[in-house]
Amino acid sequence: MHDSAMDKFLVFLDVYLAPCAGGPLAVLDVGSCAIGGPETGTHRAAIEARGWTYRGADITAGPNVDVVLADGYDWREIDGDSCDVVLCSQVLEHTRYPWRVVQEIARVLRPRGLAFLAAPSAGHVHRYPEDCFRYYPDGLPALAHASGLTVVDTNVQRRPVYRSNIWYDAVAVLQKPELPAADAGRWRARRQLSGLALRDDVGPSDLAAVSFAPHAAAPSRIATIAPRGGPGAFEDRDAALARTADPLRRVLNVRRHLSAALKALTRPV
């Protein structure tokens, strides 16, 4: 996992999940496979250290994977309204249909449950097995709105504040709202219809199985969080890092420009 994504995940824990310390939470980590091997940094240690239940899900078996998903866009292995928190970091850039991933996140979240999304806004091509998207300021909120989730906080990194990598991350914290049963049922039907649109074998019986019935579920113990009206926790973190990183970066940039100027001046005409 990129260092910058891990840093932003820790901001999410400290700011948005700190009030839940000392109580149970069910956490699902989507795209959890530790590609570099068991020693690669994952979310598991930080979640379990707080006494919460962690499950890692991925489309292939491997280190840090508890649930193997047969279909990355239809998570039949995971019950609806069963998770308090869903993590999805450095995954959405690799998916052809990212709105379906976020709709599945919305399905499995309990009302008032939180999702943490992180994906690159810039960076080199890195296929696993594909590299499809980069996310600008309106990208992750658009996926939230297509899934019935509320945007609590969102930010796109605009400057190189992490010395260890080149990634500029887009991040968002989303919450599943507590809705009247009729509205929750309609959102459930919309997500079901969206999933059918990806199937090659869809037929009349599939459409008939879509339910618009009212739907109710027990909410998460997480409280409803008001959307941030101004700069959020991730922008504050970027600003704090920039105060440390920017002076050094300016010195390195000056050194690079001076080196280029000296080469130009001494190059034979």
Distance CA 231, CA 245 (A): 20
Query: Which residue reads 């450095």 in tokens?
Result: 90
pLDDT surpassing 90 at residue 241: no
pLDDT surpassing 90 at residue 108: yes
Question: Taking residues 220-237, what's their average pLDDT?
Answer: 89
Distance CA 259, CA 248 (A): 17
Q: Which of 25-29, 119-123, 187-191 has the lowest mean pLDDT?
A: 119-123
Distance CA 166, CA 160 (A): 7
Distance CA 136, CA 120 (A): 9
Q: How high is the pLDDT of residue 247?
A: 59
pLDDT surpassing 90 at residue 182: yes
Please state the domain count of the chain: 1
Q: How high is the pLDDT of residue 125?
A: 81
What is the pLDDT of the chain when averaged over all its residues? 90
pLDDT surpassing 90 at residue 12: yes
Phi, psi of 22 (to 5 degrees): 90, 0
How do residues 40-85 score in pLDDT, each as one tens digit? Answer: 678 999 999 999 999 999 999 999 999 999 999 999 999 999 999 9
Q: How high is the pLDDT of residue 259?
A: 82
Contact 111, 217 (CB under 8 A): yes
Tell me the two tokens of residue 174: 């989303």
CA angle, residues 198, 123, 93, in degrees to nearest 5? 15
pLDDT surpassing 60 at residue 39: no
How do residues 242-266 score in pLDDT, each as one tens digit? Answer: 877 655 555 666 677 788 888 888 8
73 within a domain of the structure (yes/no)? yes
Q: How high is the pLDDT of residue 117?
A: 97
| CATH code of 57's domain | 3.40.50.150
Contact 9, 116 (CB under 8 A): yes
Domain that holds residue 102: 3-178+219-266
Contact 136, 110 (CB under 8 A): no
pLDDT surpassing 70 at residue 218: yes
In the three-class reduction of DSSP (H, G, I as helix; E, B as strand; rest coil), residue 85 is classed as strand
Which of 128, 143, 135, 125 lies closest to 169 in space, CA to CA?
A: 135
212 within a domain of the structure (yes/no)? no
Q: What's the pTM? A: 0.88
pLDDT surpassing 90 at residue 3: no
10 within a domain of the structure (yes/no)? yes
124 within a domain of the structure (yes/no)? yes
Contact 91, 100 (CB under 8 A): no
